[in-house]
Each structure stands twice: as C-alpha cells, then as structure tokens.
A and B are shown apart, each in its own frame.
Chain A
C-alpha cells in the first residue's frame, strides 16, 4: 500500500518537473532537442547566399551558419526565400534564424530581434557601363526608372534620394536588378554595395558601373524572433568569438572584401 502511494507521488513529481522543463524551454533548448537549426536564407543573394555553378548552396551567410551549427552540435536546414519572404518566414516560426545581409532598421526591429552587426556596407547606385549617368546628382531627374528590391533598404533609400523617380520593385534578389538595368528596363539600380559587387560576378565584366558615393550606411546583422532571446545572446557571443579568433575576417575577406570566392564557386 505504502509503495503504491510512493509510486504515485514519484510519478506526479516527475510529471511536474517534466512540465516545468517544457514551460521553460527556450529556442536553444528546442534546437538542441530537435538536433537541427533551421535557417531562412535568400534564394539568390550573392555573395551571402546563392547557388554556385556546381549547384550547391553557398555564400558568406551560409558558411557562418555552418560554423554556428558546428558549435551548437546540430544539423543545418536551409529554407530559401525571396528577400521579402525572409521576415515572414522567421515570424511564422518556419525558421529559427534569419541569415542574410539584412540591415537592422528600426521598423524591422519592431518585429524581429537583430544580432550585433557583423559588417557594414551602404546603398550604392549602379548603371549600365555606357549610360550617361556619372554621378548621383545626374540621376536626380524626374521620371528616371530605378530598379530596387521589394522590401529592401535600397527601396527606401531610393525613394528618399530620388523623389521624382519611377521606382520598379522587383520581387526576388539582387541579380534581378542588375539584369533589369543591363536589359534597359531601368536606367539605374539601387542596392547594397556588397550585394552589387557580389552579383556582378555572374555578369559579363564591365557591363555595369557603380557610381561613386553611398546613399546610406548600413550595418548588416542576422535576426531571430523576440521569443528567442536565448538564441540571440548565443549568436552575439558566437560573433564575438569568431571575430576574436579571426574566422569572421577570414569569411568576409573571402566572400565580401575580395572576389576570391569566384575561383571556387
């Protein structure tokens, strides 16, 4: 009789402990238990996330995520979206982390939590190599057609810098804008400097010219939901570690600061 009573008390206690565990489980726990880190990345966003000529998904953000997963001891699952689909994917819990060259704007930060920046860039204006536009001032004409990416800071910067222009927002990634400018659908394009330089690698050399000067300065960060503050703390610590031991510089020098990646990908 006494044994029976003890048994039921033990079972009840274990149940309560199990429940508390479940209630307090944060995203890090979920990831560890699942054994998989789900990452939302861009379908076409060289040099951060793209498909190389061998058909493999690669890029600066992809490799940083591989380092993260190795440190966490979990597998990786990449989910690809167009630029404007990344934040909805994160918010709808399809992904744990958003890994892209996204600027932590205050508007975006109302919905998602950004990590500390891992690099800095800025919006630039680019045009066809033989076009008459030589400076940003030349582009401030009424009716000029500007290719921008739907939902990007380039779109907001272009609206501010060229109020009289006709904006064409493309849904997809950076290379679409370069293609639109080369084909003549738009006179100029506005996007992050790092994305434009990376994207140009797949186009014939000297087909596009980047105008001098930046329209804005943008930090770039990864992001998580506001319910994953434990993951955010871990990610910030991760970036601290890889910037101290040189792996971040190695990654950025290979992918962003030079065109070294073009040899292998």
Chain B
C-alpha cells in the first residue's frame, strides 16, 4: 500500500469519520458544556477546601500539642487508608441514617475536600520538613516565635517546594470528581453515561468526556508551569 501520504491521510480520516458518529456529539455539546462547568466548579470547590483543610491539619499535626497532633493524625491516616468511593458512599448514603442529610453537590465537595485535604496535609508536611534545620535555628536565634517563624520563614519556602506535588494532587482531584457521577451529580463522566444510556454510543460519549478532561488537565498544567516560575522561592 505505497500510496502518497495525502491519500493515506484521507483514507484514515474517512475511517475515523465513519466509525465515530460526530453528529451526535455536536447535538450533545450543550450538555457537555454544562457538565464541563459543573466539573470545574465541583473540583474548584474541592480544591479550595482541600488547601484549607490541608494547611490546617498539617499545622495541627506538627504542633507541640499532643491532642491536636493525634487528632490530625487519626484524620489523615483514616482518609489515606480508605478508598474515596467508600468515603463518598458513606457521606451520601451513611450520614442520613445518622440524621445528617446534605444535597448532592455539598456531599460531593465535602468528600473531595476531606479526601484531598489529607493528601495535601502530607505534601505540605513533606515540604516543611524539607526546610533545612539551619533556617529554623536562625529564625529562633533572631527572636521569632512559632507563628512568626511559620509565616515569614518556613511556609513561604515550604509552599514553593510543595507546589509541584500539590498541583499533581489537584489533577488527581479533578479525576476523582468523576466518582461524583455515582451520586447522581451531572458532571463530565455522567455526560458520557447519558450518551450511552440514551443513544447507546459509549465510544463517542466517553471519548468526548476524555477530551474535556484533557482540556482541564492542560489548564492545570499551564498554571503549574507559570506558578513554578513565579512563586518558587529559590534560596540564596
């Protein structure tokens, strides 16, 4: 089949166009846009919450108080040892039996926040503990107390080191948000499921879903590259 490259490309394009029914995707694009923004806002909420919870639980873990340290430790270990899906089902199906019932989106963001928060706490802890002890000694001998030490010396350096793995966790969180489709939230993975159940076209449905997740991944990656140039404090 030694034809000219142009003809080969035409043939391949024809095969792709005949195998996948793109007309359906165009018809369902409004649904995909709606689901794309739903995923963005759910992941965004989860990420913001995770950062807060992460910083909080990390400071508790590293504090000198035994109670705070153990409490944070229990939280972090129990989240890291159980699957996110089990945690999600517990919040959605289990909590109402204990009298607490939240709307789906709140449950979803709560599960994502608590789950990623634990991993963020460990990432930040690794960042903090990577700061050389010389810095801490210099800060103490300069007369700074714990809070001032953290605010002006430790955290700025630690966050710089932590940003790449934190962004990695952010990407994981976006992909984890796919599980929210199982508690009837309409987001990107659910869009693929809808195309499958209404038109019986799982290939087109989930391929389009994948393309949208790729877009989110590239947005995060661009932000990661930008922030590494701007925010990392490279020591003297």
Chain A positions near chain B (C-beta within 8 angstroms): 84, 87-88, 91, 108, 111, 147, 150-151, 168-172, 179-180, 183-185
Contact present for A150 and B193 (CB under 8 Å):
yes
A-B contact pairs, 22 of them (CB 8 A): A84-B193, A84-B196, A88-B196, A91-B200, A150-B193, A150-B194, A150-B197, A151-B197, A151-B198, A168-B104, A168-B184, A170-B184, A171-B181, A171-B182, A171-B193, A172-B182, A180-B184, A183-B93, A183-B101, A184-B96, A184-B101, A185-B104
Given contacts A168-B184, A171-B181, A185-B104, contact A179 B197 (CB under 8 A): no
Alpha-carbon separation in the docked complex, A183 to B101 (Å): 8
Please, what's the 1-or-0 string for B65-90, where 1 marks a CB less than 8 Å from any CB in chain A?
A: 00000000000000000000000000
The residues of A that contact B184 with a CB separation of less than 8 Å are 147, 168-171, 180
In this complex, the interface size class of chain B, counting residues with CB under 8 Å from chain A, is 10 to 19
Alpha-carbon separation in the docked complex, A147 to B101 (Å): 16
The residues of A that contact B181 with a CB separation of less than 8 Å are 171
Which applies to chain B's interface (DSSP): helix, strand, loop or mixed?
Answer: helix
Alpha-carbon separation in the docked complex, A178 to B4 (Å): 61
Given contacts A170-B184, A184-B101, contact A179 B93 (CB under 8 A): yes
Alpha-carbon separation in the docked complex, A172 to B182 (Å): 8
Alpha-carbon separation in the docked complex, A198 to B107 (Å): 29
Q: From residue A177, how far is it (CB to closest CB) to chain B in Å?
A: 10
B97 contacts chain A at the CB level, 8 A cutoff: yes
Alpha-carbon separation in the docked complex, A229 to B229 (Å): 64
The residues of A that contact B96 with a CB separation of less than 8 Å are 183-185
Alpha-carbon separation in the docked complex, A36 to B200 (Å): 26
B202 contacts chain A at the CB level, 8 A cutoff: yes
Residues 190-207 of B at the A interface (beta carbon under 8 Å): 190, 193-194, 196-198, 200, 202
The residues of A that contact B104 with a CB separation of less than 8 Å are 168, 185
Contact present for A87 and B200 (CB under 8 Å):
yes
Alpha-carbon separation in the docked complex, A150 to B192 (Å): 12
The residues of B that contact A87 with a CB separation of less than 8 Å are 200
The residues of B that contact A184 with a CB separation of less than 8 Å are 96, 101
Alpha-carbon separation in the docked complex, A168 to B200 (Å): 20
Q: From residue B224, how far is it (CB to closest CB) to chain A in Å?
A: 32
Partner of A84, one of B92, B97, B101, B197: B197
Q: From residue B217, how far is it (CB to closest CB) to chain A in Å?
A: 24
Residue of A nearest to B95 (CB): A183
Alpha-carbon separation in the docked complex, A169 to B198 (Å): 12
Alpha-carbon separation in the docked complex, A108 to B194 (Å): 14
Given known contacts A168-B184, A180-B184, what 18 new A-B pairs fall within 8 Å (CB)? Answer: A84-B196, A87-B200, A88-B200, A88-B202, A91-B200, A111-B200, A150-B193, A151-B197, A169-B190, A169-B194, A170-B184, A171-B181, A183-B96, A183-B97, A183-B101, A184-B101, A185-B101, A185-B104
| Most chain A CB atoms below 10 A, which of B93, B101, B181, B200 | B200
Q: From residue A1, how far is it (CB to closest CB) to chain B in Å?
A: 42
